[in-house]
Structure formats: structure tokens, C-alpha cells
Amino acid sequence: MSSFASWGLTILGLAVVMTIAEMLLPSGKLKRVIRSVFATITALCIITPIPTLLKSLGAKIDGITFDKDIDITDSEYLDYIDGRKKSIIERGAIEYLATKGIEGVNIEVELDSSGYGVKCARVDFSKFPNIGITQDGEHINKSEIILLIAEYFGVGKEAIMTYG
């Protein structure tokens, strides 16, 4: 018997049991409670196999692809997720520095074993035009930027490596 047929028979069986239960129970609060319980169970039975059905069809709904061959342990997928997390964390740090008036610094982070904290960061100052004393008299020190980045990530300044 196909899974679709067994799904339909399950729903039909629940409808029959619910009808019999309603005929046997006296009217009142208990009947309403039992009707609610059966309605909830029926809704769960209807909804439960839908993701499996969509996955088996390889369907695509609103940009979400239900692929038959997806494997949650796939290393490429995990690498993609780690890359996205790193990108979001790096972008947040760059935006934080921009709020402090420091722009043009490139930051690359290495995540800790939990995947959410920062283990260390590498800061590229090669494209940063305002290091040292400029002709406008503005002085920006690398150590100040390193302290800001360390503060943002919640790590010690020794975890921030610089080049450029």
C-alpha cells in the first residue's frame, strides 16, 4: 500500500472514530473537549507527512527547495553555514567600527568550537588610509582599533592579529 493511501486511510479512520465517539458521549463540556482533542489529532495526522511528500517530489515553494538528496551532515552545507556566520559576524564588526568613525578596515574572524563565538580575528590595515598622522591633523592609532575590535568580540587584544 502506498504511503498516500495509508495517509488517507488514517484520516478516514480518525473521522469514523470521532463520529462514533460523538454519538456515544453525552452532550456537554466533555463532548466539546473530546471533539477538540480529536480535531487536534486529525490536524496533526494531516500535516505530518506533508514535508516528506514535498521532499519526495522535489518541490519548490516560495524559493524553498525541498530537495530529495539533501543530507544535513553534508560537509559542504556545514561549510556554507559556517561561512555565512563568519560573514555576518565580520560585517557586524565593520559596521561597529563605522559607528566609531573608522572605515576601510577589513576583518576576518575564526570561530571557536561552539561556532558562535570568536576565537581570533585578523585585521587588514593595508587599505586603511588614516593610520598614523594625516595632513588634517587626525591621528588614528592601530592599538585603539585593536582594542575596539577586541571589545566588540569579547576577546583579549592578543587574539587580534594585524597586518598591512
Query: Quick one: pLDDT band at residue 133, thresholds 50, 70, 90?
Result: very low
Mean pLDDT of 120-149: 71
Is residue 142 pLDDT above 70, yes or no? yes
Average pLDDT over all residues of the chain: 77
Instruction: Classify residue 87 as exposed, middle or buried by CB count within 10 Å of its CB (0-12, 13-18, 19+).
Output: exposed
The model's pLDDT over 32-73, given as tens digits with 9 standing for 90+, comes to 888 888 888 888 888 887 777 666 666 555 556 555 555 556
Q: Kindly state the cell numbers that stand for 60.
A: 519548490
Q: Average of pLDDT values for 5-14?
A: 83
Ranges 3-17, 41-55, 107-121, 149-163: which has the least confidence: 41-55
Q: Which residue has the higher pLDDT, 124 or 126?
A: 124
What predicted TM-score, i.e. pTM, was given to this entire model?
A: 0.50
Count CB-CB contacts under 10 A for residue 12. 10
Distances (CA, A) of 52 to 6, 55, 112, 153, 160: 14, 5, 35, 41, 46
